[in-house]
């Protein structure tokens, strides 16, 4: 089994970008932590970062039949992209759980970050727990087969 992790725009700068908001952990370190945790359950993780809306949508479209679930940090597209939301809805409708994650607590930030277009189509949302937002989403997807599975 495989899980897909999608990182949206500007997350390639993680670790250097506004560290007081997003922390000092690099994207590569987050991906490595996810891979390590998943491996202990015999699950492989594919990761993909893009600054392009369409590239993220293309990867989402590939999820059905290929991935047990998707962890999505849409970055700023969370607040703007109807197209990404529609792609999430399509994939969730085909039976693939998509969990939206944010490193920062978007509800504690500027009002324009309080509106999440993508989240409403997702299976669930985790925001504000830094790297743990990703790791907890992974836990839920790894439990998908067991009791309390998604
Ligand atoms: C973010 C929150 C978004 O509002 C912001 O545009 C990002 C990162 C987060 O992980 O906290 O790029 O998705």
Tell me the domain boundaries of the chain: 6-66+87-98+119-143
73 is in an annotated binding site: yes
Specify the pLDDT at position 17.
87
Is ipTM over 0.95? yes
pLDDT digits (tens, 9 = 90+) for 38-95: 999 999 999 999 999 999 999 999 999 999 999 999 999 999 999 999 999 999 999 9
Instruction: Tell me the three state secondary structure of residue 147.
Output: coil
In this prediction, residue 148 has a pLDDT band, given cuts at 50, 70 and 90, of: low
Task: Tell me, yes or no, if 22 is annotated catalytic.
Answer: yes
Please give the mean pLDDT across all residues of the chain: 95
Of the chain, the percentage scoring pLDDT greater than 70 comes to 97
79 is in an annotated binding site: yes
φ/ψ of 113, rounded to 5, equals: -90, -5
- Distance, in Å, from the CA atom of 12 to the CA atom of 6, rounded to the nearest integer, reads 11
User: Which helix H or strand E contains 101, and what residues bound it?
Assistant: strand 98-102
DSSP state of 93: H
Q: How far is the CA of 102 from the centre of ligand 1 (A)?
A: 6
Indicate whether this model's pTM tops 0.80: yes
Residue 147 has pLDDT above 80, yes or no: no
Q: What is the fold of 6-66+87-98+119-143?
A: Rossmann fold (3.40.50)
Sign, CA dihedral 22-108-48-32, equals positive
Cβ of 104 less than 6 Å from ligand 1: yes
């Amino acid at each position: 089994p495989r899980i897909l992790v999608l990182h949206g725009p500007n997350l390639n700068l993680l670790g250097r970008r506004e560290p007081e908001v997003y922390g000092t952990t690099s994207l590569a370190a987050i991906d490595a932590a996810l891979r390590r945790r998943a491996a202990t359950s015999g699950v492989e993780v594919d990761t993909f970062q893009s600054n392009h809306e369409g590239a993220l949508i293309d990867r989402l479209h590939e999820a059905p039949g290929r991935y047990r679930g998707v962890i999505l940090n849409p970055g700023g597209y969370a607040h703007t992209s109807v197209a990404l939301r529609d792609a999430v809805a399509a994939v969730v409708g085909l039976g693939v759980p998509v969990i939206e994650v944010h490193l920062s607590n978007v509800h504690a930030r500027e009002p324009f970050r309080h509106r999440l277009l993508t989240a409403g189509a997702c299976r669930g949302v985790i925001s504000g727990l830094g790297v743990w937002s990703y790791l907890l989403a992974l836990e839920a997807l790894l439990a998908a087969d067991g009791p309390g599975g998604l």
